Amino acid sequence: MYTSAATSPFSDNDLATLLMNSRANNRRLGLSGYLMHKQGRFVQVLEGSEDTVRHRYARISADRRHTDLDVLLRESITERRFGSWTMGYRTTTDLLAEDIPGYGEVAGAPLDDARSRTTLEPSVRSLLDWFRAPLPAGT
């Protein structure tokens, strides 16, 4: 799981294109995960083999559309949290962000170098749990 900042604003069309390409690439590479975007900040989870995730993250790191990349969580897992999602996505508004456990801490993490990973980890896990929970009916 990492955060990054966009080097220039992403329109709705830019995000749609990014998602379409990410989903196709992730399907081809056997990756799963999710992406959140709010006001030029991204939070993304990538799941897959260690080598594939490492190579994908290196490619993302080299992408000039991103800056301020910060890995928040790197772990080995026995079962994927987002196994059926090549790239899950939820639009995040200010009102929604206030209700997401851990989002504020995670989304702002790279901007606050004083924050320790030990303190941040519960927020990261809360955000992961929230994101993979089913959406309420009618949304």
Indicate if the pLDDT at residue 56 is higher than 50: yes
20-29, 62-71, 73-82, 84-93: least confident range: 84-93
Q: Is residue 2 a contact partner of residue 44, using CB atoms and an 8 Å limit?
A: yes
**Rounded mean pLDDT of 124-138?**
56
For residue range 84-127, list pLDDT tens digits in order. Answer: 878 877 655 555 555 554 555 555 554 444 444 555 566 666 66
Q: Is residue 127 a contact partner of residue 102, using CB atoms and an 8 Å limit?
A: yes
Domain count, the chain: 1
Instruction: Report yes or no on 67 lying in a domain.
Output: yes
Instruction: Report yes or no on 57 lying in a domain.
Output: yes
The angle that helices 12-29 and 50-62 make with each other, rounded to 10 degrees, is 150
Instruction: Report yes or no on 139 lying in a domain.
Output: no
Instruction: Report yes or no on 49 lying in a domain.
Output: yes
Instruction: Report yes or no on 137 lying in a domain.
Output: no
Q: What is the CA radius of gyration of the chain?
A: 14
Instruction: Report yes or no on 123 lying in a domain.
Output: yes
In whole angstroms, give the CA distance from residue 121 to residue 123: 5
**Rounded mean pLDDT of 53-57?**
95
Torsion angle of C-alpha atoms 65, 102, 93, 59, degrees rounded to 10: 20
Q: Is residue 48 a contact partner of residue 37, using CB atoms and an 8 Å limit?
A: no
Look at residue 20 and give its three-state secondary structure: helix
- Look up the CATH number of the domain holding residue 30: 3.30.70.100
pLDDT, residue 46, reads 93
Is residue 65 classed exposed, middle or buried when 0-12, 13-18 and 19+ CB atoms within 10 A define those classes?
A: middle
Strand partners, 36: 43, 90
Instruction: Report yes or no on 36 lying in a domain.
Output: yes
**Rounded mean pLDDT of 71-77?**
85
Domain that holds residue 96: 2-132
